[in-house]
């Protein structure tokens, strides 16, 4: 499947870039005109992945976060990656309500939200090297 459009974005792990990244993703995806609800799904999933890179990946120190989006006629692929601390046990990290930072008002629902708002969520990570989150969503409203 050939994408009809593609973008790559690299930005500092500042919390103000969480809104920037999700707005960019939504603007990019809006080219194929999905429903507002589908756009909100993408926005929320991107916000979760980028926030995780900021809070957990770089633990509020500064590093670069990459977002790579490919647009298809009725779907989007989004890859968000960081070169931060990485995840020891991915299966545990993805469990609903699991958080390594319960003291910071985190609820441990980020991955669960991504899974529920996107069709596919795949996580690869190596401790000390970083984390990559691959997400894919087909827009039901655009399937012909």
Partner 1 sequence: MIAGVVGELDHHSADYIRQKLDAELVKASNKNIIFDLSKMSFMDSSGIGIIMGRYKNIQKLGGKASLVGLSDQSRRIFEMSGLLKIVPAYETIDEALKNM
Ligand X SMILES: Nc1ncnc2c1ncn2[C@@H]1O[C@H](COP(=O)(O)OP(=O)(O)OP(=O)(O)O)[C@@H](O)[C@H]1O
- Sites of contact with partner 1 (CB under 8 A): 15-16, 18-19, 22, 37, 40-41, 43-44, 47-48, 51, 54-55, 96-97, 104-107, 109-110, 112-113, 116
Q: Which tokens go with 66?
A: 């990459």
Rounded to whole angstroms, what are the CA distances from 137 to 39, 48, 72, 87, 99? 11, 15, 10, 24, 25
Shortest CB 140 distance to ligand X, Å: 25
Q: Does 21 bind ligand X (CB under 6 A)?
A: no
Residue of 69, 75, 131, 139 interacting with ligand X (CB under 6 A): 131
Strands of 130-138's sheet in order across: 5-12, 64-71, 75-82, 130-138, 120-126
The site map against ligand X for 111-130 (x = CB under 6 A) is x-------------------
Residues 83 and 64 sit within 8 Å (Cβ to Cβ): yes
Strands, E, within the chain: which ranges?
A: 5-12, 64-71, 75-82, 120-126, 130-138
Residue of 84, 118, 135, 139 interacting with ligand X (CB under 6 A): 84
Q: Considering 106, 115, 122, 129, which one is annotated as catalytic?
A: 106
Instruction: Indicate which residues carry an active-site annotation.
Output: 48, 52, 106
Task: Note the residues at the interface with ligand X (CB under 6 A).
Answer: 48, 52-53, 56-57, 82, 84-87, 93, 98-101, 106-111, 131
């Amino acid at each position: 499947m050939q994408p009809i459009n593609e973008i790559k974005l690299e930005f500092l792990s500042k919390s103000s870039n969480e809104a920037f990244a999700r707005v960019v993703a939504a603007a990019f995806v809006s080219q194929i005109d999905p429903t507002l609800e589908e756009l909100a799904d993408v926005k929320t999933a991107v916000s979760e992945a980028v926030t995780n890179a900021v809070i957990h990946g770089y633990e509020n120190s500064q590093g670069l976060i990459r977002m790579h989006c490919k647009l298809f006629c009725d779907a989007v692929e989004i890859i968000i990656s960081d070169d931060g601390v990485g995840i020891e046990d991915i299966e545990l990290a993805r469990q609903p309500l699991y958080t390594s930072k319960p003291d910071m008002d985190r609820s441990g629902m980020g991955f669960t939200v991504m899974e529920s708002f996107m069709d596919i969520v795949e996580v690869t990570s190596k401790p000390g090297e970083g984390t990559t989150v691959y997400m894919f969503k087909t827009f039901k409203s655009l399937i012909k």
